[in-house]
């Protein structure tokens, strides 16, 4: 199972590197920097995020998906919990996606857009982006860069390619781009009481 996921991740890396070389290089740079830093508090994270950047971190618990939205404009991370049904749907989606990738490559490629649209719905990405826009509108600013922090198996999916309801992709929505970080340690904070 671990070897299969490693091969899958490697394949995604090769595809991303081939089709998005600049984004791949930026992501590798950001991951390297993130691995070198240890962040103690949410205020420390917020101080590292510039005025035009937002961070979305997903944390998958046993019974739900927690989405954290962090910007320099809010006192604390905004926490958006999902229903237990969403987690079950995500786990089923993961099994179907991974199975199709392993056993039906051509069909997997054909269905990739619709599968990512399903994932966008499960993760409620349009609602999350709307919340980010609301935060920035309150301060008269605009979010032009996004940092994604996936948890557990979410690292395996091209989250930057999630489609939005207005027809564009997540990566196209932010002028300064979308990057990844391995962890921000947000779930270790007091704001998460039920793990």
The H or E element that residue 8 is part of is: helix 2-19
- In this prediction, residue 31 has a pLDDT band, given cuts at 50, 70 and 90, of low
Query: What is residue 54's predicted lDDT score, i.e. its pLDDT?
Result: 92
For tokens 């054909």, the residue is 110
Structure tokens at 155: 């690292």
- Strand boundaries in the chain, DSSP class E: 53-60, 65-71, 78-81, 145-149, 178-180
Which pLDDT value is given to residue 152? Answer: 86
What does the pLDDT look like over 46-102, one tens digit per residue?
555 778 899 999 999 888 999 999 888 877 888 999 999 999 999 999 999 999 999
Q: Place 166 in a pLDDT band, splitting at 50, 70 and 90.
A: confident
Give bridge partners of residue 145 from the DSSP assignment: 53
DSSP secondary structure, 135-189, as one string: HHHHTT----EEEEE--GGGGGS-GGGPBPTTSSBHHHH-TT-EEE-S---GGGS
Answer whether 125's CB lies under 8 Å from 162's CB: yes
Whether the per-residue pLDDT at 103 is higher than 80: the answer is yes
Supply the pLDDT for residue 175.
92
pLDDT of amino acid 181: 82
- Report the chain's mean pLDDT, rounded to a whole number: 78
Best CA proximity match to 70, nearest among 82, 61, 83, 79 = 79
The residue-averaged pLDDT of 22-51 equals 53
SS3 helix, strand, coil % of the chain, rounded to 5? Answer: 55, 15, 30
Residue 38, both tokens: 């240890």
Residues 6+ apart with CB under 8 A from 41: 189
Is pTM, for the whole model, over 0.75?
A: no
Query: Please, are residues 163 and 10 in contact by the beta-carbon 8 Å criterion?
Result: no
């Amino acid at each position: 199972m671990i070897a299969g996921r490693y091969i899958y991740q490697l394949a995604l890396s090769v595809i991303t590197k081939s089709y998005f070389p600049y984004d791949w290089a930026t992501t590798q740079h950001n991951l390297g920097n993130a691995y070198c830093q240890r962040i103690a508090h949410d205020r420390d994270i917020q101080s590292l995020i510039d005025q035009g950047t937002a961070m979305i971190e997903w944390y998958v618990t046993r019974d739900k998906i927690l989405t954290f939205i962090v910007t320099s404009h809010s006192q604390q991370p905004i926490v958006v919990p999902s229903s237990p049904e969403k987690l079950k749907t995500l786990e089923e989606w993961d099994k179907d996606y991974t199975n199709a990738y392993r056993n039906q490559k051509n069909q997997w490629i054909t269905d990739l857009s619709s599968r990512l649209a399903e994932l966008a719905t499960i993760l409620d990405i349009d609602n999350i982006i709307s919340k980010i826009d609301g935060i920035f509108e309150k301060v008269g600013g605009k979010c032009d860069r996004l940092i994604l922090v996936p948890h557990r198996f979410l690292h395996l999916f091209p989250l930057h390619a999630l489609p939005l309801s207005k027809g564009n992709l997540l990566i196209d929505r932010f002028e300064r781009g979308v990057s990844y970080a391995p962890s921000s340690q947000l779930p270790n904070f007091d704001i998460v009481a039920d793990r």
